[in-house]
Amino acid sequence: MSSPAAATGLPVLKTPFMKLWVSMIWPPLKLFMTSVLSYRPLLRKETQLRNMLMDIGGEIAESMRLNGDYCKEWPCQFRINKYNFTPESVGTTGVQIHTDSGFLTILQDNENVGGLEVDKSGEFLPVDPLPGSLLVNLGDMANVWSNGRLHTVRHRVQCKEATIRVSMDGYIPLGTDSGAAAGTGGF
């Protein structure tokens, strides 16, 4: 009769080679759990960020005379951007000129390293780091959803110094298949 482990079809840790192989591809359980649990505060922050996105989205909806719960079911995503700026990259562009494609972005920029620039009538103006502040950006979908009443801003990230720069953003990544296509808001 085969053992329960063999019945799963997974390799059974019989040989020293197998044990070595598994120890090479999996971290020790205790280390793994410590690492997973260390993400808890980040997950709490993600929930706060989601609530904030929903609150701001609700305010925008209300400003358009819609129910503030309008966007409650919309998806949210969370992203961390890491730029490994080297001496060679100083003066170059870290993120090309773009508008955010979703509905709304809340950005926490690196508090010590600048680089974010916004397009004001064709001229890129630096957004200097302001500790303790968050930046709110409307995306393309807000423009589409409101039939052009809400505007997006073009922005980019420039490398100012040879260092690591980290930014985090939470955003509502609505696409045209998510009920936010033009006119859905009734405009």
Ligand X SMILES: O=C(O)CCC(=O)C(=O)O
Determine which residue in the list 77, 81, 89, 184 makes contact with ligand X, applying CB under 6 A.
Answer: 81
DSSP 126-173: E----TT--EEEE-HHHHHHTTTSS----EEEE--SSSEEEEEEEEE-
For 84, other C-beta atoms within 10 Å of its C-beta total 11
Return the residue matching tokens 């420039």.
158
Give the pairing type, strands 93-98 and 123-126. Answer: unpaired
Nearest distance from residue 99's CB to Fe ion, in Å? 7
Closer Cβ to Fe ion, 100 or 109, answer by number: 100
Reference 172, options 65, 68, 52, 80; nearest CA is 52
Give yes or no for residue 100 binding Fe ion (CB under 5 A).
Answer: yes
Q: Check residue 172 for interaction with ligand X (CB under 6 A).
A: no
Query: Could you say whether residue 95 binds ligand X (CB under 6 A)?
Result: yes
Q: Which stretch binds Fe ion (CB under 5 A): 85-93, 94-102, 115-123, 179-187?
A: 94-102
CB 22, min distance to ligand X, A: 38
Min separation Cβ 89 and ligand X, Å: 14
117 binds Fe ion (CB under 5 A): no
Interacting residues of 123 by C-beta distance below 8 A, sequence separation 6+ = none
The reply to whether 100 sits near ligand X by the rule CB under 6 A is: yes
Q: What are phi and psi of 82, to 5 degrees?
A: -125, 125
Give phi and psi for 91, each to the nearest 5. Answer: 95, -10
Nearest approach in angstroms of CB 160 to ligand X is 12
* Of residues 114-143, those binding ligand X (CB under 6 A): 116
Q: Which of 146, 152, 158, 167 binds ligand X (CB under 6 A)?
A: 167
Q: Given the rule CB under 5 A, which residues bind Fe ion?
A: 100
